[in-house]
Amino acid sequence: MPSASRPLDLTLDLIRAAHAGPVADDPAALTVMTDEELRPGLEEIVAGREGAALWVFAYGSLMWRPEFPVAERRLGTVRGFHRRFCLLQRRFRGTPERSGFVLALDRGGLCRGVAFRLPDAEIREALMPLWRREMRGRGYVARWLPVETDEGTVSALTFLANRANDRYAGRLPDEEIADRIALACGHAGPSAEYLYRTVEACEALGIRDRHLWRLQALVAARLRALT
């Protein structure tokens, strides 16, 4: 069972006080792929998997906003990759002038998250909305990875950092990441809100992530200094 969550230093009130005004969208800040451009990659990743159970591994925003139907969910662990704020966000939750960060899985360590099983459906139809959401910004590469759960290991679609893309920032110090997250806001909202929602989801599930926990405290301190 998930353990009791701890109170966060970072709060929605603090985030809203620091980012009170709306930010206009700037499509030029990040050109996204069309469905036609996305389909070949989707075809490649689903090749030969027709009829198999369809699992997706969530470690960031998919934990608290999956936006796809869920037939089953399990806590799970991916080995060989860890959760990290390493993808620059110049649109949606940031701007070119004040870019934020979103999470990706990067090499090394392990990651606790949630494995979601989608209901039985045609695999391309089921995955296209998720594929569009995660892959259109070219920040991720997709892989089928084993996810260890208490009910057994499942093969789940997992989104890793695309190290070849210019959005990949590598392993920056937490203090520098916190500086960017505290200041960044795009038309989809503040970067700090993305951090808050993810830490909140992890805490509710009993997932202890030192990187996220330290970042929320650092960002909270920076936001308090702004307000």
* Residue numbers annotated as active site: 134
DSSP helix, strand, coil percent of the chain (3-state; round to 5): 35, 30, 35
First to last CA, the chain: 38
**Rounded to an integer, what distance in angstroms lies between the CA atom of residue 42 and that of residue 20?**
38
CB contact at 8 A, 145 and 110: no
Amino acid sitting at position 213: W
Amino acid sitting at position 90: R
Helix (H, G, I), strand (E, B) or coil at 186: strand
**Rounded to an integer, what distance in angstroms lies between the CA atom of residue 208 and that of residue 199?**
9
Running DSSP on this structure, what letter comes out for residue 19? Answer: S
Give me the numbers of helices (H) and strands (E) for the chain, helices first please. Answer: 7, 7
Distance of CA 57 to the CA centre of its chain: 11
